[in-house]
Copies of this chain bind each other. A is one copy, B any other.
């Protein structure tokens, strides 16, 4: 049987949430195995995580730079690293692995400045490496289906977009009587840790990325209002974008919208029909052809177009969930790695790359700039 693709992880200790999701998602692919890690700056936790996954103790590193160097030097070194650390460290960690010649998958947001982002891209290109960014929602099977439907012209030319990402987990920030130091008060007010934006950076970028993934539209310019409600960083934002085709889109993100958990939702309107989708029920798309009745298109049914529909893993009506979305991303990334290694065409495998990461960073900065300048238009 074929040689396994070996990977390492930076961040993602047993106590972390998103690293565990990545690990389980990668695990869906029997072609891949975890062989190295630098899971935590806390020694005991780092060690424990390595043991849990039966890693060779020598390959459980205290320092990511050491990991990059030593893995690069091994014959059986990792093929790629998955970076799931706090946002502020994405850039140096990714840079270190790229320079060591190791392929990278990095959590979003990619980094804090456009310069950093473009530097990562240039480094990856110079080294001839594949750089993935885990905008996980694009991995849902129906995301692929919608992208294909738009490309096939099912909804015609896009004339309007309405998208949002609403949460309510920071509602307590609005309580003036709240004397307890909230989690956010500690680190979300420090731009060194959070970057130029809290809400837009954390979830607004998902809107930008998701709409771009589905529609292929480029944002030409945007204007925005952000709301801090007396805190240091934004908790809510409204953004109007203008795409290269002349249409407008309205984006709203909020962390203080009572009743929303992870409410990424998107509606795309074209001159021949529309598509509606919500992350919390990702297996179904509402498609309305012009002059027809709205249709509820479900993953893995006869109504799904063939090519993208192939990503479905289990029968329709059995929810696949977030793990599968991430598994699909990694599966594509790993397939691209293998294709590249074999000298085959890697472009057929779709995953968000460093380019999408750059767009995300630009988007955040444009929103911040507009909001700071009386909502003026900012070119992208």
Q: Which residues of A contact B (CB under 8 A)?
A: 1, 4, 17, 20-21, 24, 27-28, 30, 48, 51-54, 155, 157, 159-160, 162, 164, 167-168, 171, 174-175, 223, 225, 227, 229, 236, 238, 240, 242, 247-250, 252, 254, 256-263, 267, 269-274, 276, 279-283, 286-298, 301-303, 313-324, 374-375, 377
Q: List 29 A-B contacts (CB under 8 A).
A: A1-B51, A1-B54, A4-B54, A17-B315, A30-B53, A160-B227, A160-B254, A171-B271, A225-B242, A225-B248, A238-B249, A257-B274, A258-B274, A258-B289, A259-B276, A259-B288, A261-B301, A261-B318, A262-B315, A279-B317, A281-B319, A282-B319, A287-B293, A291-B302, A293-B301, A295-B296, A319-B321, A321-B321, A323-B323
Query: A257 — which chain B residues lie within 8 A by C-beta?
Result: 160, 267, 269, 274
Q: Are B24 and A171 in contact (CB under 8 A)?
A: no
CB distance from A277 to the nearest CB of B (A): 13
Measured between C-beta atoms, what is the minimum distance from A107 to chain B in Å? 15
Cross-chain contact B289 with A297 (CB below 8 angstroms): no
Instruction: Please name 18 further chain A to chain B contacts, defined as beta carbons within 8 Å, in addition to the given A225-B248, A240-B375, A280-B283, sorted by A numbering.
Output: A159-B227, A160-B257, A225-B240, A225-B242, A236-B248, A238-B240, A238-B250, A258-B270, A258-B272, A261-B301, A261-B318, A280-B317, A281-B281, A292-B303, A319-B319, A320-B321, A321-B324, A375-B375
Smallest CB separation, A20 vs chain B (Å):
8
Identify which of A167, A261, A292 gathers the most chain B CB atoms within 10 Å of its CB: A261
A256–B377 contact, CB under 8 A? no
Chain B residues whose CB sits within 8 angstroms of the CB of A167 once the complex forms: 317
Q: Which 4 A-B pairs have the closest CB atoms?
A: A321-B321, A261-B317, A259-B288, A262-B317
A24 in contact with B17 (CB, 8 Å): no
From B155, B317, B320, give the contact of A263 (CB < 8 A). Answer: B317
Give Cα A319–Cα B289 distance, bound, in whole angstroms: 23
CB pair B259–A286 under 8 Å, yes or no, is yes
A291 to B172, CA, bound (A): 10
- In Å, the complex CA distance between A167 and B30 comes to 31
**Chain B: minimal CB distance from A249 (Å):** 8
Residues in B with CB closer than 8 Å to A259 are: 273-274, 276, 286, 288, 294
A71 to B: closest C-beta gap in Å: 21
Nearest B-chain residue to A261, judged by Cβ: B317
Known: A248-B227, A252-B162, A296-B296. A273 touches B291 (CB 8 A): no
Query: How many Å from the CB of A177 to the closest CB on chain B?
Result: 11
Which of A225, A236, A273 lies at the interface centre, i.e. has the most chain B CB atoms within 10 A of its CB?
A225
Whether A174 lies near B271 (C-beta < 8 A) is yes
**Complexed CA–CA distance, A267 and B238 (Å):** 14
Min Cβ gap A210→B in Å is 15
Given A53-B30, A174-B271, A175-B271, also A314-B159 (CB < 8 A): no
Closest chain B residue, CB of each to CB of A289: B258
**Which chain B residues lie closer than 8 Å to A282 at the CB level?**
319
The reply to whether B274 and A269 form a contact with Cβ atoms under 8 Å apart is no
Q: Cα distance A296–B322 when bound, in Å?
A: 21
CB distance from A345 to the nearest CB of B (A): 24
Q: Which B residue sits closest to A295, measured CB to CB?
A: B293
CB of A31 to closest CB in B, whole Å: 8
Shortest C-beta distance, A60 to chain B (Å), equals: 12
Contacts of A301 in B (CB 8 A): 261, 293
Closest Cβ of chain B to A141, distance in Å, is: 11
Residues on B with C-beta less than 8 A from A54 are 1, 4
Task: Indicate if the CB atoms of B295 and A294 lie closer than 8 Å.
Answer: yes
